[in-house]
Chain A
């Protein structure tokens, strides 16, 4: 991470409630262009909620999200896509009855920005060329995750949010996708990765934020995080922290 870079995303004191439950409770962080930031934490700590608020699926109940210098909290998803934010989903959500090619075509036609990669490039780079003309419903789950990613990349995002992209991939696929994500960051794309696979997080992130109960409890490298008593307590329970 280059500290002199201006953050492309700044989240300040973000609050999201579901009834009486505070999924996000004053979360603040930032990410700069070209950085890969990991969001880690136990189930229910607010990682996916944070992604959902940043990508416009949920409106925040408090706090502020600023993308590229302009407030983006509560803005409709498709508008955020046009401004340069995109994401993948924990459970991939392709358009099942459309072919792989048509899935990407929709994103290129409606969210595509100047300089977006072509369908052929995306199919080739993300190993979907062989299944390009098959309905998305025919793909296995790893292929559906790649299709989800290509749908996002077709809109040429400047901020990419990856929600458990690596879950379910085999070790060879993990190494390969880690390389792809690093290559994307090298182009200046800011990437936020939500992941449970710590080895994968360590391999690709510059910095992690550890969340618990909708709040940040640690910020720094993963190597430091795993020595923090508070982090260990959250992940493994109190008796392991000492």
Chain B
């Protein structure tokens, strides 16, 4: 069997089935929804960081842009929710296009510039002068489209597509070329790879994923403020989850989300007073002892991790 088929069958299919069935047996649907959203965002980070090496500290900019793309379509044009989600994705792509000059930077410079860009988008959206369009700092209320069940399943679909995209990257010459660009851009160009085009495609794919997630998030919660959907926590969590599991793999970000977000909620419910301490220690331990993520426990032994 081809590797890609194996990955679809043994990673993607079980993940989709589990998250499609869980709402029937577990009552905390908001928690399940958040899991799916972080699975999408962690894989989105994986696409841009794992495969091209750009660390998107302002990744939430695309998420917030998607949420507001959704909200504006619903508020002003009464667009049906699924279509508005797609527009959310397109708005994120448009923002990604606007930010392509950032790809000239690398390392910490890119991360900082990306963070600044996401803050700029937040303050643009939250500007009281734009109240007529975005509702400014006063937040939006989208009661007409409120349907958490549909929004949840839409999130599962986007998660499936995102994990499918990563499976494609892991099994195609395209994904190999992206990794080549990450490893050594000059050598990649001498392998015939158009490095600018590759970086832009990965950047926009990653933006699209976050934009769709943002649109679905807006659909699910229906009432939100700019600070909610542009909260830096989305970027930080998505990055930490992806790194915790191990980037440039299919399973790493999934394992990262399931374990770390699981622990996050477990500590939050049981011993909230120690929450920050335990969580901080856990992340420090990871950075110190497993900088390549949990999957490196297996790869160090020579095992292949998909």
Is the CB–CB distance between B195 and A102 below 8 Å? no
| Distance between A105 CB and nearest chain B CB, rounded to angstroms | 6
Complex: A109 Cα to B187 Cα, angstroms: 14
Supposing A105-B173, A106-B176, A109-B176 touch, asked if A93 and B187 sit within 8 A by C-beta, the answer is yes
Q: Most chain-A Cβ atoms within 10 A of its Cβ — which of B183, B191, B194? A: B191
Interface size class of B (residues with CB under 8 A): 10 to 19
Which residue of chain B lies nearest to A81 when distances are taken between CB atoms in the complex? B192
Nearest-neighbour CB distance to chain A for B199, whole angstroms, equals 13
B191 touches A155 (CB 8 A): yes
**Separation of A1 and B258 alpha carbons in the complex (Å):** 66
**Could you tell me the distance between the alpha carbons of A95 and B185 in the complex, rounded to whole angstroms?**
9
Whole-angstrom distance from the CB of B177 to the nearest CB of chain A?
A: 5
Give the shortest distance, in Å, between A68 (CB) and chain B (any CB).
17
Q: List residues of chain A with CB within 8 A of the CB of B191.
A: 81, 106-107, 110-111, 151, 154-155
Interface centre among B173, B179, B190, B195 (most CB of A within 10 A): B190
Known: A106-B191, A110-B192. A57 touches B173 (CB 8 A): no
Which residues of A have CB within 8 Å of B195? 78
Nearest chain B residue, comparing its CB with the CB of A113: B192
Q: Which residues of A contact B192 (CB under 8 A)?
A: 78, 81-82, 107, 110-112, 155
Smallest beta-carbon distance B196→chain A, Å: 8
Are A106 and B177 within 8 A (Cβ)? yes
Q: Which residues of B are at the interface with A, using a C-beta cutoff of 8 A?
A: 173, 176-177, 179-180, 183-184, 186-195, 248
Please name 14 further chain A to chain B contacts, defined as beta carbons within 8 Å, in addition to the given A76-B189, A81-B189, A109-B177, sorted by A numbering.
A56-B189, A57-B186, A78-B192, A78-B193, A89-B187, A95-B180, A96-B184, A97-B248, A98-B180, A105-B176, A110-B177, A110-B191, A151-B187, A155-B192
- The interface of chain A, by Cβ under 8 A from chain B, is 55-57, 76-78, 81-82, 86-87, 89, 93-98, 102-103, 105-107, 109-112, 148, 151-152, 154-155
